[in-house]
């Protein structure tokens, strides 16, 4: 496909997060000028402080829009709407939105981006592989047991590297405008099955059990997780893991012409780095 934004400045929001840093690294590797959008960046960006947006958007022609902490939190649609208005006014020509599968709040934000007047692509992702090795869940896996408020509903977990590859294609190539890419891995696994594959490939037994939402919230609070974060995680687990997202989708293949990475390949690589070493 034709590269149309190779020399244009791209703002990568949540640019130190799981997908954002991968998007930024790939763009930089292609020679695309990148501005990392975070509170600690040289040109700071803060979702809660609109006075930071003008400088962050200065000279920007494309945006990877990853809202933190999640599009499901109260106030996200209003913030996304205000940002899209500011981006359009600043001359942004292309927005790639990181969205979530099955989230009605995320779909509201998708509609806002569609109506922004800017070329758009929606990257609607499943639960990330990297939630198992780049978050506090890795501590539980290292300790040999993960407990969450989910049952036997499978999830077609997706690699954050695949998400980043699709986002970069949408940011730098023609042919992705107006597309909604549902990104999943090639197969669905329950959390118990995922722990089984980690056990098999690491040689260490990792169990899984289901908690009540109340016990999960209490455990998070006991670990020092802020109440609003604990509430969000409980909402996502108890709402989204009801079967609505259980089927794999073809977004990676549609966007990139290749198959998505398999969970077993991720586990092998993560284990080789010592991510879950006791």
Task: Establish if 71 belongs to a structural domain.
Answer: yes
Decide: helix, strand or coil at residue 210.
strand
Does residue 24 lie within any of the structural domains? yes
Asked whether residue 58 is assigned to any structural domain, the reply reads yes
Contact partners, residue 263, CB within 8 Å, separation at least 6: 129, 157, 185, 187, 189, 194, 197
Can you give the pLDDT of all 278 residues of the chain as single tens digits?
444 444 689 999 999 999 999 999 999 999 999 999 999 999 999 999 999 999 999 999 999 999 999 999 999 999 999 999 999 999 999 999 999 999 999 999 999 999 999 999 999 999 999 999 998 789 999 999 999 999 899 999 999 999 999 999 999 999 999 999 999 999 999 999 999 999 999 999 999 999 999 999 998 888 888 888 888 899 899 889 999 999 999 999 999 999 999 999 999 999 999 999 97
Q: Give the chain's domain count.
A: 1
Question: Residue 161's closest CA among 265, 254, 72?
Answer: 265
- Could you tell me the residue range of the domain that residue 31 belongs to? 9-126+160-184+247-260
Task: Give the span between the Cα atoms of 270 and 262, in whole angstroms.
Answer: 13
Q: Is the pTM of this model over 0.85?
A: yes
Residue 63 forms part of a structural domain: yes
Distance CA(248)–CA(212), nearest Å, equals: 27
Count the neighbouring beta carbons within 10 Å of the beta carbon of residue 54: 11
Contact 94, 5 (CB under 8 A): yes
Tell me if 28 is assigned to some domain: yes
The predicted pLDDT at position 1 comes to 47
User: Which residues, at least 6 apart from 196, have a Cβ–Cβ distance to it below 8 Å?
Assistant: none
* pLDDT for position 8: 84
Residue 238: inside a domain: no
Has residue 166 been placed in a domain? yes
Kindly give, in sequence order, each residue whose CB lies less than 8 Å from that of residue 239, ignoring residues fewer than 6 positions away: none
DSSP string for residues in 103-138:
-HHHHHHHHHHHTTSSEEEEEEE--BGGGTTSSTHH
Residue 220 lies in a domain: no
Query: What pLDDT does residue 227 have?
Result: 87
Domain CATH code at residue 87: 3.40.50.720
């Amino acid at each position: 496909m034709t590269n149309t934004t190779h020399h244009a400045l791209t703002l990568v929001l949540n640019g130190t997060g799981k997908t954002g840093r991968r998007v930024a690294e790939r763009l930089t590797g292609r020679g695309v000028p990148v501005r990392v959008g975070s509170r600690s960046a040289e040109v700071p960006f803060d979702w809660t402080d609109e006075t930071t947006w003008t400088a962050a958007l200065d000279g920007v022609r494309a945006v990877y829009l990853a809202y933190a902490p999640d599009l499901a939190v109260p106030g996200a649609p209003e913030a996304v709407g205000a940002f899209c208005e500011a981006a359009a006014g600043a001359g942004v020509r292309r927005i790639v939105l990181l969205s979530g599968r099955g989230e009605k709040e995320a779909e509201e934000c998708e509609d806002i981006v569609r109506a922004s007047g800017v070329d758009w692509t929606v990257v609607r992702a499943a639960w990330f592989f990297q939630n198992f090795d780049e978050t506090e869940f890795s501590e539980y896996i290292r300790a040999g047991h993960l407990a969450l408020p989910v049952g036997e509903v499978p999830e077609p977990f997706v690699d954050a590297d695949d998400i980043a590859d699709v986002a970069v294609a949408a940011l730098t190539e023609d042919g992705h405008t107006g597309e909604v890419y549902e990104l999943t891995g090639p197969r669905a696994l329950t959390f118990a099955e995922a722990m089984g594959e980690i056990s098999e490939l690491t040689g260490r037994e990792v169990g899984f059990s289901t908690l009540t939402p109340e016990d999960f919230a209490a455990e998070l609070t006991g670990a020092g997780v802020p109440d609003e974060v604990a509430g969000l995680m409980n909402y996502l687990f108890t709402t989204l893991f009801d079967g609505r997202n259980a089927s794999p989708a073809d977004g990676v293949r549609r966007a990139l012409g290749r198959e998505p990475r398999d969970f077993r390949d991720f586990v092998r690589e993560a284990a080789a780095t010592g991510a879950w070493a006791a």
